[in-house]
């Protein structure tokens, strides 16, 4: 009934309601695709899917339908928060020893990501199918048109794509197909140069016309399997049956309280919600507002909470379909308060060990490598539905393999290479049909009246968690507009050293931060955060000033 009333009002007052529609993504062409769909009467879910498809074309180094993603949705009519898991899966032939040498030691990451061994069964098209069936308003094929135009008619190379092309020139001697697409006859692409991808345009047309099965069966599935099986290196074992059997999954949203706010995000196999919310939960006893954004003590507290939360992440998080993950225990207020008591206002801990949350089984901690990548986009429509989605192919250009013009992911390198540590199984070890652990953190924030007020997420590998946590503190504690909160210095860690973003005011205060007892270094910690926020004048978009992302109103 509410939706019918809003639709009737939209006919009477189209400009008033349309002004509430906002989209934001990491590439201007994808943002324009989302805006185009909203203007056609599409839902926030429709706009998000159009952006995901457009990013497949214009940001192939970071995301696309050759990979997977996590989708978080707020339904204005019901007030419900739903999440959809489109994370890639290991082929059924994958074993825990997949990334081990003959002597049982892990294959170094640079040797295991290129080629077929790292490719997981892509999930984004099945995710899109589920999302469109539940929340879509426009016809399925309409969502593909902006991406098809970009692939067919061509698009200008951005600064990030040109930079990654220069990297690829040095890497692609054994990968001629991707070199043909993303170099200029062996030379790096130039910013502003126009390129096309007709094979990808044809693939998108097929899926638009014939639906998701045009991806997971038939010619496309055969070409994906062949690309993996005949890769120039690390040939592997994905089958047609693996692709045909893939399903995106509805997952219960993981929600937690921070001060007067409710925050909701993605549960396992994402570690995003649990780790972001743990960081905030450990900070809640401190008056972060009074300390303010320029206080070294505030950033020291953030760093301490970060180190403790990541210690829990490495020990307990994995695909919940395969290993028990104590989500409720990790976010238990008593447990977070206990962890928070470890944090000193003026001193750093000597070491950062995982705790024992309620309901946790004995577990071995293990760390997988960190590879920055990925993309994020957000949408709000005139009815008040909100979407926050993170999408990825993992590292730059994924596995370096291409099928029908499509970059295939290297997500299986998100598994921990060593299946055991100290004689005990690792939660994030490779297993057949399993989804690798992720740090993607699509998040929606609600006020005390349960109204959505902020939706955000980021790229950046395992740093995603900190980009999102920092932005949330900036908005919720320090009262900053979303774009100013995004622009705050990024913070992370290397071993037990704290990293702060080079070239920022915080990096100029390294001696003050070091007085808390921790080694502090300035590092390149770029990010791609995108957000929408509710203001007194309606919804407004925000994009990371470090990148080329944009936001547009309907």
Q: What are the binding residues for L-glutamate? A: 87, 414, 438-439, 461
Beta bridge partners of 72: 83, 388
Beta bridge partners of 391: 69, 375
Task: Give CA–CA dist 536/173, Å, rounded.
Answer: 54
Q: Quick check: 496 and 474 in contact, CB under 8 A?
A: no
**Residue among 323, 443, 301 at smallest CA distance from 378:** 443
Q: Quick check: 81 and 452 in contact, CB under 8 A?
A: no
- Render 80-97 in DSSP notation, one character per residue: -EEEEEE--B--TT--TT
Task: Give CA–CA dist 489/528, Å, rounded.
Answer: 13
Q: Which two three-digit tokens encode residue 254? A: 């993981």
Active site residue 535: no
Task: Give CA–CA dist 238/92, Å, rounded.
Answer: 8
Strands 520-523 and 497-501: parallel
Out of 220, 374, 375, 390, the active site residue is 374
**Residue among 294, 306, 281, 296 at smallest CA distance from 346:** 296
Q: Which residues contact 347 (CB under 8 A, 6 or more apart)?
A: 516, 517
Rg (CA), the chain: 22
Apex CA 374: angle with CA 272 and CA 428, to 5°?
Answer: 50
How far does Cα 529 stand from its chain's mean position?
10
**Residue among 60, 116, 69 at smallest CA distance from 90:** 116
Q: Quick check: 323 and 427 in contact, CB under 8 A?
A: yes
Q: Which two three-digit tokens encode residue 432? A: 């057949």
Task: Give CA–CA dist 136/73, Å, rounded.
Answer: 12
DSSP three-state, residue 492? strand
Task: Give CA–CA dist 14/370, Å, rounded.
Answer: 46
How far does Cα 535 stand from its chain's mean position?
25
**Residue among 30, 82, 98, 63 at smallest CA distance from 436:** 98
Beta bridge partners of 74: 81, 386
DSSP three-state, residue 60? coil
How many other β-carbons are positioned within 10 Å of the β-carbon of residue 407? 27
Q: Quick check: 77 and 2 in contact, CB under 8 A?
A: yes
DSSP 106: B
Apex CA 513: angle with CA 512 and CA 514, to 5°?
Answer: 90
Backbone angles phi, psi at 403, to 5 degrees: -135, 120
**HEC per residue, 30-75:** HHHHHHHHHHCCCCHHHHHHHHHHHHHHHCCCCCCCCCEEEEEEEC
How many other β-carbons are positioned within 10 Å of the β-carbon of residue 223? 18
Active site residues: 374
């Amino acid at each position: 009934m509410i939706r019918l009333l809003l639709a009737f009002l939209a006919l009477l007052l189209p400009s008033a309601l349309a002004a509430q529609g906002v989209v934001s993504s990491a590439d201007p062409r994808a943002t324009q695709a989302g805006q185009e769909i909203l203007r056609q009467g599409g839902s926030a879910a429709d706009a998000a899917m159009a952006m995901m498809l457009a990013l497949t074309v214009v940001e192939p180094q970071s995301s696309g339908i050759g990979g997977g993603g996590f989708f978080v949705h707020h339904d204005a009519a019901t007030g419900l928060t739903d999440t959809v898991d489109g994370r890639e899966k290991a082929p059924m032939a994958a074993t825990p020893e997949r990334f081990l040498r003959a002597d049982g030691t892990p294959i170094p990451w640079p040797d295991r990501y290129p080629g077929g061994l790292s490719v997981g069964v892509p999930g984004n098209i099945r995710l899109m199918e589920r999302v469109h069936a539940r929340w879509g308003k426009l016809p399925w094929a309409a969502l593909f048109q902006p991406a098809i135009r970009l692939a067919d008619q061509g698009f200008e190379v951005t600064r990030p794509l040109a930079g990654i092309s220069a990297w690829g020139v040095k890497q692609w001697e054994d990968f001629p197909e991707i070199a043909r697409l993303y170099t200029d006859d062996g030379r790096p692409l130039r910013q502003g140069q126009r390129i096309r991808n007709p094979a990808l345009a044809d693939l998108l047309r097929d899926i638009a016309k014939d639906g998701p099965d045009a991806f997971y069966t038939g010619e496309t599935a055969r070409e994906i399997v062949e690309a993996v099986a005949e890769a120039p290196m690390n040939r592997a074992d994905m089958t047609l049956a693996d692709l045909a059997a893939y399903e995106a999954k509805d997952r219960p949203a993981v929600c937690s309280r921070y001060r007067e706010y409710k925050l909701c995000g993605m549960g396992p196999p994402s570690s995003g919600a649990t780790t972001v919310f743990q960081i905030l939960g450990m900070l809640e006893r401190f008056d972060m507002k009074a300390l303010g954004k320029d206080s070294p003590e505030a950033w020291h507290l953030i760093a301490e909470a970060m180190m403790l939360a990541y210690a829990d992440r490495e020990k307990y998080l994995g695909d919940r379909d395969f290993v028990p993950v104590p989500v409720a225990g990790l976010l238990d207020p008593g447990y977070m308060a206990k962890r928070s008591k470890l944090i000193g206002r003026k001193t750093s801990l000597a070491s950062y060990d995982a705790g024992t949350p309620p309901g946790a089984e004995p577990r071995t901690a293990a760390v997988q490598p960190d590879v920055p990548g990925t993309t994020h986009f957000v949408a709000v429509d005139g009815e008040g539905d909100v979407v926050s989605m993170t999408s990825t192919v993992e590292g730059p250009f994924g596995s370096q393999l291409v099928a029908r013009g499509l970059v295939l992911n290297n997500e299986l390198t998100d598994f921990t290479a060593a299946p055991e540590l100290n004689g005990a199984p690792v939660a994030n070890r490779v297993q057949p049909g399993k989804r690798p652990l992720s740090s993607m953190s699509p998040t929606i924030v609600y006020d005390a009246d349960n109204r959505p007020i902020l939706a955000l997420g980021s790229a950046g590998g395992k740093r995603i968690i900190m980009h999102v946590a920092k932005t949330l503190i900036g908005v919720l504690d320090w009262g900053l507009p979303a774009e100013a909160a995004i622009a705050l210095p990024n913070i992370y860690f290397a071993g037990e050293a704290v990293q702060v973003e080079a070239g920022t005011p915080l990096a100029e205060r390294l001696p003050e931060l070091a007085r808390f007892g921790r080694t502090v270094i300035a590092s390149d910690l770029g990010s791609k955060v995108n957000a929408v926020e509710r203001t007194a004048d309606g919804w407004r978009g925000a994009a990371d000033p470090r990148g080329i992302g944009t936001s547009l109103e309907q």
